[in-house]
Amino acid sequence: MPPTQAIFNHELSTSLDSTHAFEGPEKLLEIWFTSPLKFDLRSIKYDSIVKILNLVHCEVLSKISNDQMDAYLLSESSLFIFQNKLILKTCGRTTLLSCLNLLFDTIAREINDSVSVQQVFYSRRSFFFPDQQLHVHSNWDSEVKILDSYFENGKSYIVGHNTNWHLYVAGEPAKNQPQDDSTLEIIMTKLSLASSKKFYSTRHPGDLANDESHDLGHDSGQEVLNKTGLNSLFKYKTEMSKTVDNEVHDGFAFTPCGFSSNSMNDNNYYTIHVTPEPGWSYASFETNMVAKDYKQIIDKCINVFQPGQFMVTFLTNSDVDQFECCLNDEYRIHHKEELDVGGYKLFFVEFVLN
């Protein structure tokens, strides 16, 4: 098994300045791989991961691991690597799709050239500032064209009403893919001022912690998780009614504002990202947990951020006929869709304040 030691890039953490960050909505890529031979994507060298991310225009702030996955907290969102899949989520002006050539070449070279793509998902919300995206992500048609050049039989979808959510799916589910594979994403905008203030920092780039083994960004990130109650999102009951609470957290508070965190327990990941600036405030929560009651998770999240509007996407291959997803009576459903995509069922619900 690959080494599981934590990595903290204290130099980057200390110098990083998010003053000019602007685009909160992320680009999200999830790729499942297959091979007739045994393989583990976590065997990719750390230096190779850094080179791949350089093409995306982001850097590694820190890395935590357990027996199931490696979780990288990035200067622009997150990367999760499992044995047979990876999830790359990046915000801002990152060029996520620019890394595909190098990613596939690296896997062939460092793992095995028999490793191939089983299934791919790419999604994003509409950008706040689409004209400021770089060429790879200039518009949805361009992104689909790039994806089609790498993957066969791809299909694209656009759902939503006032705000669109885009999805691209290619490939087929693996026969040994878990039958309870699900991804829940909550995408929130127009955060309340009271909520947004919780994600501003009084420190400045270059400020140093008293202990050289720490940095203020990561220390403050852990404090934000606790003070906001976001850490309570991970205290949930599974379908087997067992409480899962052996989580590991990695949070980072940006300066002057912004927040990111990765958390894990067993094979479950949770990632949160916040850009609280007035005018384009944004927050997202994503997890692959299989929970007994998603409504409580969503309600907790909404209570922390108090958004003016939010959308929920739930993609699952489990036998689910309907998806109930909000307890908070301050909101009403503005738009709702259900689609069958790539062997999965997609539930999309958009909420606005009453």
Q: Which residues are annotated as a binding site for substrate?
A: 22, 76, 254, 277
C-alpha–C-alpha distance, residues 52 and 95, integer Å: 11
Spot the catalytic one: 10, 13, 91, 195: 91
Binding residue ranges = 22, 76, 254, 277
User: What CA–CA distance (Å, rounded) separates 291 from 276?
Assistant: 28
Whether 91 is catalytic: yes
Distances (CA, A) of 313 to 168, 244, 260: 14, 23, 20
Name the DSSP class of 41: G
Q: Residues 77, 196, 201, 261: which is the catalytic one? A: 77
Locate 113 and state its tokens.
Answer: 């050239």
User: Which strands make up the sheet holding 268-275, listed edge to edge?
Assistant: 248-253, 259-265, 268-275, 282-287, 182-191, 307-316, 344-353, 331-341
Angle between helices 100-110 and 46-56 (to 10 degrees): 170
Beta carbons of 289 and 237 less than 8 angstroms apart? no
Whether 77 sits among the annotated catalytic residues: the reply is yes
Q: 297 phi and psi, to 5 degrees?
A: -65, -45
Residue 301's nearest CA partner among 291, 136, 278, 6 is 291
Candidates 99, 273, 284, 325; catalytic one:
273
301: Cβ–Cβ under 8 A, 6 or more apart, which residues?
A: 186, 188, 233, 285
How far apart are the C-alpha atoms of 323 and 314, rounded to whole Å? 8
Q: Are 292 and 241 in contact (CB under 8 A)?
A: yes
Residue of 13, 65, 78, 260 with catalytic role = 260
Q: What are the catalytic residues?
A: 77, 91, 260, 273
